[in-house]
Amino acid sequence: MEFVLGGFSGVCAGFFSNPFDVMKTRQQLQGELMRAEDVKNKPYKNIYKSIQSIIKAEGWKGLQKGLSAQTAFQFTLNSVRLGAYQTLDDYGFLNRDENGKLSMIRCVIVGGFCGFLGGTASCPFYMIKVQLQSQSASSKYAVGYQHSHSGLIDALKTIYTNNGIKGLWKGYTALIPRNVVGSSVQLSTFSVCKNFLAQYDTFADSIFLRAVVGSAVTGLVTCIFMTPFDTAATRMFNQPVGKDGRGLLYRNLIDCFIKVTKTEGFFGGFYKGFGPNYFRMAPQHLLNLTFWEKFKEINNKIQNR
């Protein structure tokens, strides 16, 4: 049941945060491997300009580009990672003491491990999500390599036909660090915040309030640590591939970090899209983890009855 609840909480969060995910993806691809001074056209310079550009090219529906892949990704990722995290907690792997206090080190390790599991299972959907979100109906607003998928099913068929089953996990080496770092920071920060807040009367009797405040803090911390890996994953998943299935821009994660740092600078390149990424993560963490807590609370009440 923990796995199903985790998946549903991810889907709920993914729907509301997808517009910011689209903006984040396009900002990360804007000016790829170009120095800042050489980038003349910046249709996705900031959040306001990103919204304006997307609506001009594709209408309001453009803000929900790739929603089918986003839904599949969020359900698969969160059903595995949140379900595994809760299961390991139930079996005592987080090493709570007699007062219920968590071991921070174990939270980080278990969170990272669960992120690895979730990333492995959801990798094909993440790749397709990125490729669909990057597609623009107008060449004026196009950034990065433009794939020609008509939707989730078409993308799965095309990638499998051209590159086989391995093609669906192309860029896997970039996704795993993203998910391990993201999950270890997210789940450990959220768990520690909840326990810290529970000491105060205002939060002690309200699972909802603890989840809301814990999620807001968790979103910022996770965004700071995860954005460079998120940008690298976006670049690697969206790059064109040769007939041999190899990426034409980046050989691997290390090669991506070296090339982007040389041409765009570390902060200028890997922290592109930080604004929409935070506005994506904050509500996503808020909704995902709050729904997760509420679903568990409802499930516990049903089981007790």
Is there a domain that residue 254 lies in? yes
Please report, for the domain that includes residue 157, its CATH number: 1.50.40.10
Angstrom CA distances, 94 to 90, 233, 285, stand at: 9, 29, 21
Distance in angstroms (rounded) separating the CA atoms of residues 32 and 251: 15
pLDDT averages per 10-residue partition of the chain, 305 residues: 60 81 96 86 93 95 94 90 84 70 79 90 96 93 93 95 89 89 82 83 79 81 92 95 87 94 95 91 73 70 72
Quick one: 156 exposed, middle or buried, by C-beta within 10 A (0-12, 13-18, 19+)? middle
Angstrom CA distances, 116 to 32, 60, 111, 180, 229, stand at: 27, 34, 9, 5, 14
176 neighbors 120 (Cβ within 8 angstroms): yes
Is there a domain that residue 296 lies in? yes
Is there a domain that residue 305 lies in? no
The domain of 144 spans 2-300
Is there a domain that residue 290 lies in? yes
How many independent structural domains does the chain possess?
1
Is there a domain that residue 129 lies in? yes
118 neighbors 186 (Cβ within 8 angstroms): no
Tell me, what's the pLDDT at 2?
Answer: 55
Tell me, what's the pLDDT at 27?
Answer: 96
Is there a domain that residue 210 lies in? yes
* Residue type at 84 in one-letter notation: A
Tell me, what's the pLDDT at 198?
Answer: 83
